[in-house]
Amino acid sequence: MRKAYIAGNWKMNMTPGKGAAFASELAKAAKDAGADVKIMVAPPFVTIPAVIDALKGSDIIVAAQNMNDHKSGAYTGEVAPEMLKDLGVNTVILGHSERRSYYGETDEFINRKVLLAIEEGMDVVLCVGETLEEREEGKLEEVLSAQLSGDLMNVSAEAMSHITIAYEPVWAIGTGKTATPEDADSAHAFIRSFVAKLYSSDIAENLIIQYGGSVNASNVKALMAKENIDGALVGGASLSVEKFLPIITYNK
């Protein structure tokens, strides 16, 4: 049985002060509403300590949105996994399409980070997804296969329990356009079957696959009702309690 996993990617929003206030409000609201899904928030690096402090005593997981592919050293402006772990952060989002497209992250680079995160004992939310052009050219499966095999290269079968996949069609991110539940489910089914080929059907069966791209209070139920959709990676609608609470209590 796969437990629903809903994550809020704050992107470059929320100062430490705002993030802490929001996180306390969210934790209280989630508790009062009896939310019973796995919940994660990913604040910007500098906001992480204040959010961790605000979420003491709550089950909400605090993750990072990225990390460097080295353990330490002369990498100006970068953050190493050890620094995150020292704060108590054990989960990292890798391969987000904004990092792929704005910062030129390749599958090879993302793979180095995935391997380092695993080596450091961290959990990874690995994002994959196609652009509109790729979808229209019928390349969905080709793109997903290349991303999955590239990003997961040399990741052992044992390590796969630390990997969550987020399927995020690039054309649905921040655009208000959501994949239909059917389209999302069929992409998820493809991802699951591909992981079964790379690893085993057991690993594929246990793999949590989140959908991301304009998830909101009105579409979350239909998406989550699909067999292969196990969670959501939410951007815009994760930034207020009013919008995020109905998503993390979709099953109430």
Chain residues binding ligand PGA by CB under 6 A are 9, 168, 173-174, 212-215, 233-237
Q: Which residues contact 57 (CB under 8 A, 6 or more apart)?
A: 27
- The CB-nearest residue to ligand PGA is 235
Question: DSSP letter at 59?
Answer: -
Question: Is 96 annotated in the active site?
Answer: yes
- As measured in angstroms, the least distance from the Cβ of 126 to ligand PGA is 12
Which position among 96, 98, 130, 188 bears the catalytic label? 96
Backbone angles phi, psi at 127, to 5 degrees: -95, 135
CA atoms of 48 and 95, how far apart (whole Å)? 19
CA atoms of 203 and 183, how far apart (whole Å)? 23
Question: Is 137 annotated in the active site?
Answer: no
| Three-state secondary structure call for residue 131 | coil
Residue 116 in tokens: 């380092």
Among 114, 182, 188, smallest CA distance to 154 is for 114
Which position among 98, 105, 168, 188 bears the catalytic label? 168
Farthest CA pair distance, the chain: 49
Residues 2, 238, 194, 251, CA torsion sign: positive
User: Which residue number, 42 or 114, has a Cβ lying nearer to ligand PGA?
Assistant: 42
Positions marked active-site: 96, 168
